[in-house]
Amino acid sequence: MAPPVLEIRNATKVYRTSGGFLSPKKEVVALQDYSLTIEKEPASITTIAGESGSGKTTLANVVLGFTPLTSGQILFHGQDLATMNRQQLLNYRRNVQAVFQDPFGVYNPFYRIEHVFDTVIHHFKLARSGNQARDMIEDALNVVGLHGVDVLRKYPHQLSGGQRQRIMMARVYLIKPEVIVADEPVSMVDASLRAAILEAMLSLRDELGVSFLYITHDLSTAYQVGDKINILYQGSVAETGTTVQVIDQPQHPYVQLLVESVPAPDPNIKWDTEIELPDEEVLRSATSTGCRFYPRCPQRMDRCLEVAPPLFEIDGKGHEAACYLYEDEAQMAPAT
């Protein structure tokens, strides 16, 4: 069997911050022993969800090769990202692309919009001639409902946020990578345009077979487009499974709290319970040995402090939660 497009194996990222002169160095574990596999067929949208500090942005940065892993591997068709040579890295770049949150910052203010397309066509050698390049750009823009004459000669600040983000979708459409890391692509886009971006993701998946790592804090858009979901809490996976399984029947106490806290867009269904947040101090003192959610968990047990729970299978269909509550009802999931 061919190796998967992208495989993340036991990825751990530790940031060491020098505490400054004479102060001790601090270590922050941003991602702990994280594994994920994205198969070529069928193309899928895998959501990585979590709050700030959950490690989801770190994950995007390591997959895109912006920061090296502390330990673990990222394999692209079986080849380790860390050992790639120049040519292989260029090929990796060509096939693992990104769409970012801020649709303004990704444009160099000095250049017109066409610079974005010219750059990728030039460096990835996508077109044989200028004419072919022009046609490719026009095609890609049409897919997201834009026209070259309206946008290419403009400067980024002359376009709306929605237009800018759609041009970013056109850029990845032009490159046609195998995997796209979409880091909060709709969180700065207005509600009425959100659908256009999400729709573009779906059509890239269905028509071109592009897989997505959809990184977001917003469970509701993930619910609309995601195939699988990984919910991170402080650097480790709390729960994973298909999006519908996890959001309809959350098992991990944190995920339950998270899903319940999403405000329901229905005035007749109000939050029914008051919750309290634990003190910052308590959260910070959470040891790295036990379960990270222990200080906030309503169902905590003593053993949660001893060893962090591995993922336990819930229903035999890939739904797993990292919580000892599910140890009995399932045999241990093979450590992936």
Partner 1 sequence: MTEASGQNVQRRQRKVLEVRNLRVHYETPTGDVIAVAGIDFDLYDGETLGLVGESGSGKSTAAYGILKLVQPPGRIVEGDVNLDGDELVHMNDSDFRQIRWTKLALIPQGAMNSLNPTMRVHRQITDAIEAHEGKQDKEELRQRVLDLFRMVGLPQRLYNMFPHELSGGMKQRVCIAMGIALHPTVIIADESTSALDVVVQRVVAQTMLRVKEALGVSMIMIGHDMGLMAQMVDRIAVMYAGKLVEVSPVETIFEDPLHPYSQVLIESIPSLKERKPLKITEGITHDPRNPPPGCIFQLRCPFVMEHCRSEAPPLREVKARHQVACHLYNDDGSLIEGAKVEAAV
Partner 2 sequence: MGAATGQTASLTAPRKMGRLNRFDNPWLNIKLVVGVIMVGSILLMGVIGPMLVDVDLAYVGRSPLNLPPVGFENMRGEGGDPTHPLGTDNSGRDMLSLIIIGAPNSLLVGFVAAGFGMLGGIILGFSSGFLGGMADDIIRLSADITITIPSLLVLIVIQSLIPVQSLLVMAVLLSLFAWPQPTRLIRAQVMSMRESGYVKMAQLSGVPTSSIMFREMMPNLLPYLAASFIGNTTGSILAAVGLEILGLGPQRLPTLGRTIQNAIDNSGILRDMWWWWGLPTVILIVIFIGLLLINLGLDEVANPRLRKATRQ
Which residues here bind partner 2, judged by CB under 8 A? 64, 66, 90, 93-94, 97-98, 100, 102, 104-111, 116, 119-120, 123-124, 145-147, 149-150, 153-155, 158
d(Cα 278, Cα 295) in Å, to the nearest integer?
A: 7
Distance of CA 20 to the CA centre of its chain: 32
* 3 state SS of 294: helix
Of the two residues 154 and 303, which places its CB atom closer to partner 1 in the complex? 154
| 223 near partner 1, judged by CB under 8 A | yes
- Say which residue the tokens 């797993």 belong to: 320
Which 8-state DSSP code applies to residue 221? H
Only one of the segments 14-22, 65-73, 109-117, 194-202 lies at the binding site for partner 1 (rule: CB under 8 A); that segment is 194-202
Closest approach of Cβ 311 to partner 2, in Å? 31
Spatial distance between the Cα atoms of 89 and 92, rounded to a whole number of angstroms = 5
- Proportion of the chain in helix, strand, coil states, percent, rounded to 5: 35, 20, 45
CB of 274 to partner 1, least distance (A): 6
Inter-CA distances, 252 with 90, 139, 165, 191, 194, Å: 40, 45, 34, 30, 29
| x/- letters, 19..58, toward partner 1 (CB under 8 A) | --------------------------------xx------
Residue 233: which H helix or E strand, with range?
A: strand 228-233
CB of 193 to partner 2, least distance (A): 13
Q: Judged by CB, which is closer to partner 1: 73, or 203?
A: 203
Choose from partner 1, partner 2, none: what does 94 bind? Cβ within 5-8 Å by kind: partner 2
Report DSSP state, residue 332: B
Instruction: List the single partner that 220 binds among partner 1, partner 2, none, CB under 5 to 8 Å by kind.
Output: partner 1
265 is an interface residue for partner 1 by CB under 8 A: yes
Q: Give yes or no for a contact between 44 and 227, defined as CB atoms under 8 angstroms apart.
A: yes
Q: Which of 106, 218, 286, 301 binds partner 1 (CB under 8 A)?
A: 218
CA dihedral in degrees (320, 325, 328, 333; nearest 10)?
20
Structure letter (DSSP) for residue 111:
S
| Contacts to partner 1 by CB under 8 A | 51-52, 145, 160-162, 190-196, 198-199, 202, 217-221, 223-225, 244, 247, 257-259, 261-268, 270-271, 274-277, 279-280
